[in-house]
A and B are shown apart, each in its own frame.
Chain A
Amino acid sequence: MFSAASMREEANMFTRRLIPYGQTNDQTNVLTPAAIALCLGMSALLLPGTVAAEEYDPNRDARLLQCDNIYDRGDIDGAIDCFKPLSNDPSSFIAAEAHWALGSTRDANQKFREAVSEQPRNPHIRARWGRLFLSTHQPSEAVPLFEEAIQLDPDYLHAQTGLVAALLSQSGSEARMLLSDLHQKHPDDVELLLLLARLELESRNVDNADKLLDRALISAEANNITPLDIYALKVSADLLRDNEDSEWVQKALDYSPAYGDIYFIPVHYHLINYRYRESVALLKKAVEVQPTHWSAHSQLGINLLRINDIEGAKKHLEIAYTGDPYDTATVNTLRLLDTLDDFRDLDTEAVYSISGGSEKVAPVVMRLHKDEATYLAPYVEELTQRAVKVFSSRYEFALKQPLIVELFPNHDDFAVRTVSTPGVGLLGVTFGYLLAMDSPSGRPPGDFHWGSTLWHELAHVFTIEKSDHRMPRWFTEGISVYEEWTTGPLRGRHIPVDVLQAIQENKLLPVADLDSGFVRPTYPNQVTVSYMQAGLICQMISKVYGHDKLVRMLELFDQRQDTGQAIANALGISSEALDRQLTTYIDDELGHVINRFSEWRELVTSVHRASQDSQWSTVIALAAQANEIYPAYVGKGSTYIPLHDAYVALGKGDQAVESLEIWYENGGHEPDMLHQLAHRLRDLGRTAKATEVLESLNWVHPNNIDLHERLGNDYLAVGNNEGALREFKSLLGLNPHDKSVVYLNIARTYQNLGNKKLAKRNVLQALEQAPFFREAQDLLVELTGDSS
């Protein structure tokens, strides 16, 4: 019955409170390798739904309450003096609470364990222990403790609320239902009102949130509950209304002058709306009023990093680490900063013009790992330059700051860069003028089309900055997906099969509520479904109303209009009407697939089964039927691949090539198949098409020596000297076996371009590698005119 508790032999706590700035607690601040490994293994997701622990404890001991009150009024030294003696209290439970308040969370954990052992039937102790885990960002540890408390007392509200808070941080639907049920039973419970208000704020339902907070204020006053958290959410609501001078800040500081949370709590609502500069401003205020707010220092460091202030980030992360060496976000990000020493900043420029105006130049910094900078930089540079040119024109926006493009070969480094913890499934993220993503070498070959990811993120830069970070999530994601399909480096509109199924099952959200599909998904693939829905909406707006309406909507979002207002003012219809239009659009565009979805899936399954059994005639017949229903499908399980195999097995080379070509033209990009297609096209004498296919490989799997060698020679042969130069330079970065040949090819390319100086320099570099290289010797003689 109490297995969860008994297994919790060595819990790990990482927060600290009430420790004056500059001091550390009893634990060493030198992190051992084992401790680092432990930290990295922890879940450190931010818990926007959690609330301060002690204020809502219905059974708070009077002695603890007395100390709480001192703290709540901002007398931190007084609170420490109050709690310290209680940490040696003969009651393990009181000692646990005192240790927790003093920031000694490991001691608190130990004392809670002892208290549970002493009073195994006491639900309160288990609920409080769960709250300790909750407050240290470990909801998965907290949940079983709350469940055990509820088993002991099924109506115990403190445990039930704790469980809801823990579940809210992990998933959506179950917790929301539970919260709604509890609120109906306890309509005036302050903690429940705050949880509900937070959800409303996340959905930008500010008026609803305000009503809940007003009710919470009345209830708090009636029950003598500290109102500081309510004030902080009031500030959040004002911020979402663009009122940055909220009256509630002063009220909170009057109540408790060192209450840093009055700035820290609202930061969450800036962050989920990509407002990093504004978050930094608030966090600076938080650490100003409460220098010991280690979480604020940590978040300040992390967000300074997001706006490329590396030195500032380091300073605040080190302060955070001094005060709380066990905060996983702090430790992970400091480790990331160490790895940045291995990165090189490569400066370049992107040329653009708006509305046919004069050409301007935007500075771009490519931050690439030193081991791959040479081979990757030409492609990052080319795609970034192309994107800046395209998006500046399409969205009528000139970049106002240097654009920073970071690519991480280690996915966990990228994950830490993104959300301060390893193990997330993201591919890329944009913080405004800085974007970060997985490098193509960060994942197995062909695992993702990195060119499309970079294109997607670069589109975000323009939508986020043009709207001053004010657009809703669905809109920026929708534009990025739409641009991937429309102007990106990969052909076709790629909609995953499970999204088609979701559309068939009517799981799409109204556009006015589409953000919740990203922020609070209620089923496993809802985020992906929401991406695709947003992309389809933007594509439809562009087709039906014109691309300029998308640009207009961005301007309206910048003017603080919400989704409904922007749709009404840009398109002249309501959001509900847009939803109806989307249904028609999807029916027109995808109805032929969705209406026969089950039939198509069965056919695809049968094709692969027949392919496994080498029943080639069956493969050909069934693939034809499947492709008649959904000819553009080239994703996982595409029937074009077994169709190609079948034709190869039957000796029908032409049809094999034809099937792969259709697959490629629709955006198929599996590297091995692209190599095969290029090879077969070359055998057929279709060298130009083979070169085009090889070129497409650069955007999916550029880490390949043969690719650049072949492509460089192809370009050199047809006089595409710029292309050849890019390929040969990239090839050098991959450390080929024989560099002399590459240098010679670069020399020849420069010779073609009329640059004799660089031609000579490169042929000498070829000879530096291979002094007896006859062809290089001949070229040197030719270039120097020395034939003595």
Chain B
Amino acid sequence: MGATHAMGEAMKSFISALLLVLAAPAAMASTVTVVISGLGGNADYTEQFERYATAIADEARNIAQSPQDVILVRGDAAKRNVIMGLLENLPVSNNADVFKLFLIGHGSFDGEHYKFNIPGPDITDDEIVTALAKIESPKQLIVVATSASGALLEPLAAENRVVITATKNPREKNAVRFPMYMVEALSDTSADLNKDESISVQEMFDYTVRAVNSYYDTEKLLASEHARIEGSLADQIEVARYGTLLQRKDTISPAMLAKRQALTSEINSLRARKEEVDEDEYFDRLQTLMLELTNVQRSIDEGGS
């Protein structure tokens, strides 16, 4: 690849550092997050995209085991050789348990190909799809928060992957509001519908879509973006955390968390069978589980083990 050949020494060092990150032991249940801010085209957009990308990366670091698990490419670093180097080298390592990629910026569509706009030659849909095809993480999230991003919805779809695009198709070419509200979702606890102090991809997406729709309604504008989500793992991938889970993430007893998780699974299982169970019996069973969960949660909140 021409871009790879053009890399300087500094870039080689950057990629080497990246390989160390991606080579972390799988047993650590690692999450790797890559956030790339593209070409703004003017000072306002450039500032906006960098701000959004930074906010996403900050939230990702709150979840990450190590700050090194989060890679932010923005500003002067967002050049073709850097980004391509990054994308092409992602699969070289052992894969993380969870892999997340956020592309923030402008996208375009020439009638045949989607392009993520960066200084110099843009990055094409084929390049993105080819690079990400090598990722083997069991849970993947790809967010393309750009105009025309709907073009990538289908090509990027995979069984172990959630794909979010800011538009429903490549013909929605106007600059999108989606990333602004997505960033808001990561820091607004009202996005956390199940109130577990953790915002899932699905919660982030639902909040963002509502906010985007509300923006167009309030401004009495015809909506020029319609975000889409594909994939079945959206409830299982975390994108932000707050409250006790964040403040005491290193001290909460794994046993308590496991208990909490077991009860949550049991509740979800009961909810899934709601239509098959007698109503009174359902709520009696739910009450028992909820009281157990309440006790566990109170122990966690109070720092017990």
Contacts and interface: CB of A to CB of B under 8 A. Distances in A.
Interface stretch (A384-392, A411-419, A780-788): A780-788
Interface stretch (B123-131, B194-202, B233-241): B194-202
Closest 4 CB pairs of A and B: A777-B294, A772-B196, A770-B195, A772-B195
What size tier do the contact residues of chain B reach? 20 to 34
A233 B4 CA distance: 95
Interface of B: 190, 193-197, 206-207, 210, 264, 267, 271, 283, 286-287, 290-291, 293-295, 297-298, 301
Given A738-B193, A740-B195, A772 B297 contact: yes
Contact of A780 (B195, B210, B294): B294
A770 B291 contact: no
Interface string A178-195: 000000000000000000
B196 A760 contact: no
Contacts of B207: 737
B297 A768 contact: no
Contact of A773 (B195, B264, B271): B195
B283 A770 contact: no
B190 A737 contact: yes
Contacts of A102: none
A764 B290 contact: yes
Interface in A748-788: 760-761, 764, 767-774, 777, 780-781, 784, 786, 788
Contacts of B197: 772
B302 to A, nearest CB: 12
Given A764-B286, A768-B286, A777-B297, A740 B193 contact: yes
Contacts of A780: 287, 290-291, 294
Nearest to B245: A772
Contacts of A769: 193-194
B291 A761 contact: no
B212 to A, nearest CB: 13
28 contacts: A737-B190, A737-B206, A738-B193, A740-B195, A760-B283, A761-B283, A764-B283, A767-B286, A767-B290, A769-B193, A769-B194, A770-B193, A770-B195, A771-B195, A771-B196, A771-B267, A771-B290, A771-B293, A772-B196, A772-B197, A772-B293, A777-B293, A777-B298, A780-B290, A781-B291, A784-B291, A786-B291, A788-B291
B210 A771 contact: no
Contacts of A773: 194-195
Contacts of A738: 190, 193
Nearest to B197: A772
Contacts of B196: 771-772
Contacts of B193: 737-738, 740, 769-770
Contact of A771 (B264, B287, B301): B264
Contacts of A777: 290, 293-294, 297-298
Consensus secondary structure, chain B interface: helix
A487 B271 CA distance: 48
Given A737-B210, A777-B294, A772 B287 contact: no
Contacts of A781: 291, 294
A5 to B, nearest CB: 42
Contacts of B286: 764, 767-768
Contacts of B298: 777
Nearest to A738: B193
Given A771-B293, A772-B194, 7 more contacts: A770-B193, A772-B197, A772-B297, A777-B290, A777-B294, A781-B294, A784-B291
A760 B206 CA distance: 28
A417 B196 CA distance: 49
Contacts of B291: 780-781, 784, 786, 788
What size tier do the contact residues of chain A reach? 20 to 34
Contacts of A786: 291
A767 B267 CA distance: 10
A765 to B, nearest CB: 9
A759 B16 CA distance: 60
A769 B286 CA distance: 12
A751 to B, nearest CB: 15
A770 B193 CA distance: 6
Contacts of B290: 764, 767, 771, 777, 780
Contacts of A772: 194-197, 293, 297
Nearest to A739: B193
Contacts of A768: 271, 286
Contacts of A770: 193-195
B47 to A, nearest CB: 29
A760 B283 CA distance: 9
A735 to B, nearest CB: 11
Contacts of B297: 772, 774, 777
Nearest to A786: B291
A679 to B, nearest CB: 16
A768 B301 CA distance: 20
Nearest to B294: A777
A774 B283 contact: no
Contacts of B195: 740, 770-774
B282 to A, nearest CB: 9
A788 B194 contact: no
Scoring B196, B271, B294, B298 by chain A CB atoms within 10 A of each residue's CB, the highest score goes to B294
A788 B207 CA distance: 35
Scoring A767, A770, A771 by chain B CB atoms within 10 A of each residue's CB, the highest score goes to A771
Contacts of B264: 771
B24 to A, nearest CB: 30
A764 B286 CA distance: 7
B305 to A, nearest CB: 17
B143 to A, nearest CB: 21
B287 A760 contact: yes
Contacts of A767: 286, 290
B96 to A, nearest CB: 26
Nearest to A760: B287
A394 B298 CA distance: 60
B145 to A, nearest CB: 21
A26 B152 CA distance: 53
Contacts of A761: 283
Contacts of A764: 283, 286-287, 290
Contacts of B194: 769-773
A774 B189 CA distance: 13
B245 to A, nearest CB: 10
A41 to B, nearest CB: 26
A684 B64 CA distance: 47
A760 B207 CA distance: 28
Nearest to B194: A770
B60 to A, nearest CB: 22
A760 B291 CA distance: 12
Contacts of B210: 737
A773 B291 CA distance: 12
Nearest to A767: B290
A296 to B, nearest CB: 47
Given A771-B196, A773-B195, A774-B297, A784 B190 contact: no
B260 to A, nearest CB: 9
A781 B193 CA distance: 21
A348 to B, nearest CB: 23
A768 B277 CA distance: 15
A773 B286 CA distance: 14
Contacts of A737: 190, 193, 206-207, 210
Nearest to A770: B195
A767 B301 CA distance: 17
Interface in A707-762: 737-738, 740, 760-761
Contacts of A760: 283, 287
Interface in A639-654: none
Contacts of A771: 194-196, 264, 267, 290, 293
Nearest to A777: B294
A512 to B, nearest CB: 50
B269 to A, nearest CB: 12
A771 B266 CA distance: 11
A773 B264 CA distance: 13
A769 B193 CA distance: 7
